[in-house]
Amino acid sequence: MSSMRLQVRDLVVEAGRGGERTQAVRGACLSVAEGQVVGLVGESGSGKTMTSLACLGLLPPGVEVVGGEITVDGHAMLTLPERDRRALRGPSIAMVFQDPLSSFHPGLSVGTQIVHSLRDHGVGRAEAKARCIEVLGEVGLPKPEAQARRFPHQLSGGMRQRAMIALALANRPRILIADEPTTALDPTVQAGILRLLRRLADDGLGVLFISHNLGVVAGLCDEVTVMRNGEVVESGPTARIIGDPQHPYTQTLLAAAPSLPDPVEVGDPIVVREEPGAAAPDSRVDRDAAVYTLADVSRHFVSGSRGRKTTVHALDGVSLSITKGSSTGIVGESGSGKSTLARLLGALDAPSSGQVLFHGQDLTGMSKQDMRAFRRKVQFVFQDPTSSLDPRYTVEDTLREALHTHGVTDPAQVARRFTELSEQVRLPKSLFGRYPRELSGGQRQRVAIARALAPRPEVLIADEPVSSLDVSIQAQVMDVFRDLSENDGLTLVMVSHDLALIRDVCDSLVTLYNGTVMESSQAAAYYEQPMHPYSSALLHSMPNPRHIGRLPEVLALGEPADPTSPPPGCRFHPRCPRAQDLCREQRPALTAMPDRVLACHFPLTVPAVTAEVGER
């Protein structure tokens, strides 16, 4: 068993002080061999992070190992004194965390930190410097000498995570523990990091990859261990665990995991005008059916004072309309302007230029009365229910207030609405007396949805409504949204970075990049055959649990453009594999096609991608 790099046997970890001790990990077993990537899967509270911290001997105060064995690179980690453990961290075992910004020292350059970690293990000054540059190159950072001099905040999210991996790899460890290393990243960037980890493993590194995302695990890992409530429920080769799970819990997880299933029925299209900035409304749009019409809407955030002004182009010349009863997904990477657009639609923010029309009425400069009427018709669901609910209000208080605000004050009527809302969001009425802290994340989000539904709105805008929830809960909450849009005739606008997740819910999609519309189309057409290279890149970057042993593709080079200085021409051209001189010079106009509107000089017309993405 000389190739076994990390072995954990019957690990028991206890947390808590005094009499109240809980077992965070109960008899976990796992092993990682040379050149192997082992996935550790579980939802929050499953004990996966505690297991990994125990391997490093870095459990937080009050948490300790009470049983079992951990062997790291041939050393019995648990019996070693702290001094010897420290010597192992780096040369034998290293870790990468989810958030590289908080793991780096903000005041030292990346290179300095890597050199420090080498010097701590007795490497000479010159040698450490050379190794630093070498390892930065190894993780795929361009111009490693220049990157070494930069500070963590100067790097983009993906670069920072690569630098974090470089820091971990500096001392040539045999084992790398990666705890949700790509969770905070865009799928397009995630795909690149996953490929890097795979390459490192192929070169002999043992990787313990902790994730809640079965799609990522399916593509990257050789073996999978599934944990729940501190116990290992199933483990084995990826093909068996993901492809043919035996344990009911793994099956539940897999059923809830977003993948790209069969096409759904085609809904109403979004109609986008051909020319951004054209003032006259398109005659083809049935004006009664259009709930929202956006004409050349921009939102710029200006910060700094004279001389040092920076302008963030959150949205630039967006024109679109949203039809009554449709459910529209707004997709794109972080910084693409999705949330800004949603906030404009909800009148939580005003455009810098252009018009947002709601049933033909401009949202800016509305009278107080009209605004009140608007608020009743358009409601919002936020990403984080914990912060959007008042901790001092019970569920009932929250809902009652929303009803009272919109004139429902009769007690019998209020009680009737409570029952209706409880059914609509599938939240038992027995929970109505509870405070938000006494509810689970999924239940809290249901409360937030119920609050939004209280005034019987016409439009419901949801900004990443499930991204703070566990996978198995995400699917349930998305079901609520689907019912609302299908059965209750609600017009739904949903912002999401997860194309797989919203597939069941949305019938049309608007793809944003760098504040501009790239493609907006019927969902079915989009998933079957994305025509914009950016849409295609997004779709291909989505991890899919069905793709065992196949990593997501990287079809967009680099990372999202800086919104403070958008590139000329087509915004996407610096990352586009099809870019030509025309793309660099001229911004493509939105052009109408039968089933979509597109802004691209050289759209993809060959349905080559369909087979890969649509398969199930």
Partner 1 sequence: MNKVGRRLAMLVGGLSLLLAVAGPWITPYDPERPTADVLMSPSASHPMGTDASGLDVFSVTVAAYRTDLLIALAAVVLSLVVGIVLGVLAGYSFGGSRAFGILGKAVDRLLDLVQSIPVVILGLALVATFGRGMPSVIAAVAFVNVPVFARLLRSSLKSAERGGLVQACRSVGLSERATLLRHVLPNSLDSTLANASVALGGAILLTAALSFLGAGVRPPTPEWGALISGGANYVPTGQWWISVFPGLVLSLTVVCFALAGESVRDRLSGASGRKRSADAGQTDAAQTDTDTVMRLA
Residues forming the site for partner 1 (CB under 8 A): 346, 348, 372, 375-376, 379-380, 382-384, 386-393, 401-402, 405-406, 448, 451-452, 454-455
For the bound state, the minimum distance from the C-beta of residue 223 to partner 1, rounded and expressed in Å, comes to: 38
User: What are the DSSP calls for 476-508, one per residue?
Assistant: HHHHHHHHHHHHS--EEEEEES-HHHHTTT-SE
Give the residue from 500, 402, 414 showing the smallest Cα distance to 187. 500
Any idea which residue has 């049983």 for tokens? 67
Pick between residue 362 and residue 390 the one whose CB is nearest to partner 1.
390
- Give the integer Cα–Cα distance in Å for 29 and 69: 9
- Give the integer Cα–Cα distance in Å for 428 and 343: 30
Report whether 196 contacts 220 (CB < 8 A): no
For the bound state, the minimum distance from the C-beta of residue 345 to partner 1, rounded and expressed in Å, comes to: 11
For the bound state, the minimum distance from the C-beta of residue 184 to partner 1, rounded and expressed in Å, comes to: 19
Give the residue from 545, 588, 541 showing the smallest Cα distance to 560. 541
Q: Which residues contact 343 (CB under 8 A, 6 or more apart)?
A: 349, 463
Helix (H) / strand (E) containing 279: none
For the bound state, the minimum distance from the C-beta of residue 381 to partner 1, rounded and expressed in Å, comes to: 9
- Helix 471-487 crosses helix 248-256 at what angle (to 10 degrees)? 50
Report whether 105 contacts 113 (CB < 8 A): yes
Pick between residue 259 and residue 496 the one whose CB is nearest to partner 1.
496
Pick between residue 70 and residue 389 the one whose CB is nearest to partner 1.
389
Backbone angles phi, psi at 603, to 5 degrees: -65, 160
- Give the integer Cα–Cα distance in Å for 374 and 584: 41
For the bound state, the minimum distance from the C-beta of residue 557 to partner 1, rounded and expressed in Å, comes to: 34
For the bound state, the minimum distance from the C-beta of residue 383 to partner 1, rounded and expressed in Å, comes to: 8
Helix (H) / strand (E) containing 550: none
Pick between residue 378 and residue 561 the one whose CB is nearest to partner 1.
378
Pick between residue 330 and residue 597 the one whose CB is nearest to partner 1.
330
Pick between residue 258 and residue 436 the one whose CB is nearest to partner 1.
436
- Give the integer Cα–Cα distance in Å for 408 and 417: 9
- Give the integer Cα–Cα distance in Å for 455 and 434: 22
For the bound state, the minimum distance from the C-beta of residue 406 to partner 1, rounded and expressed in Å, comes to: 6
For the bound state, the minimum distance from the C-beta of residue 98 to partner 1, rounded and expressed in Å, comes to: 21
For the bound state, the minimum distance from the C-beta of residue 155 to partner 1, rounded and expressed in Å, comes to: 25
Report whether 336 contacts 560 (CB < 8 A): yes
Pick between residue 30 and residue 449 the one whose CB is nearest to partner 1.
449
For the bound state, the minimum distance from the C-beta of residue 392 to partner 1, rounded and expressed in Å, comes to: 6
Pick between residue 372 and residue 584 the one whose CB is nearest to partner 1.
372
Pick between residue 199 and residue 372 the one whose CB is nearest to partner 1.
372
Report whether 222 contacts 40 (CB < 8 A): no
Any idea which residue has 């501009």 for tokens? 516
Pick between residue 334 and residue 405 the one whose CB is nearest to partner 1.
405
Report whether 331 contacts 269 (CB < 8 A): no
For the bound state, the minimum distance from the C-beta of residue 454 to partner 1, rounded and expressed in Å, comes to: 8
Pick between residue 313 and residue 451 the one whose CB is nearest to partner 1.
451
Any idea which residue has 């519309």 for tokens? 517
For the bound state, the minimum distance from the C-beta of residue 348 to partner 1, rounded and expressed in Å, comes to: 6
Report whether 285 contacts 271 (CB < 8 A): yes
3-state DSSP assignment of residue 183? coil
E-assigned strands of 435-561?
459-463, 491-496, 508-513, 516-522
For the bound state, the minimum distance from the C-beta of residue 402 to partner 1, rounded and expressed in Å, comes to: 5
Report whether 602 contacts 583 (CB < 8 A): yes
Please state whether beta strands 175-179 and 93-96 pair in parallel, antiparallel, or not at all (unpaired). Answer: parallel
Pick between residue 387 and residue 565 the one whose CB is nearest to partner 1.
387
Number of separate helices (H) and strands (E) present in the chain: 23, 22
Give the residue from 424, 425, 460 showing the smallest Cα distance to 324. 460
Helix (H) / strand (E) containing 259: none
**Across the beta sheet with 353-358, what order do the strands follow?**
310-323, 290-303, 353-358, 361-362
For the bound state, the minimum distance from the C-beta of residue 491 to partner 1, rounded and expressed in Å, comes to: 16
Pick between residue 260 and residue 389 the one whose CB is nearest to partner 1.
389
Pick between residue 66 and residue 302 the one whose CB is nearest to partner 1.
302
What type of residue is 374? F
Q: Longest Cα pair distance anywhere in the chain, in angstroms?
A: 79
Pick between residue 381 and residue 554 the one whose CB is nearest to partner 1.
381
Give the residue from 254, 375, 231, 323 showing the smallest Cα distance to 510. 323
Report whether 116 contacts 110 (CB < 8 A): no
For the bound state, the minimum distance from the C-beta of residue 208 to partner 1, rounded and expressed in Å, comes to: 29
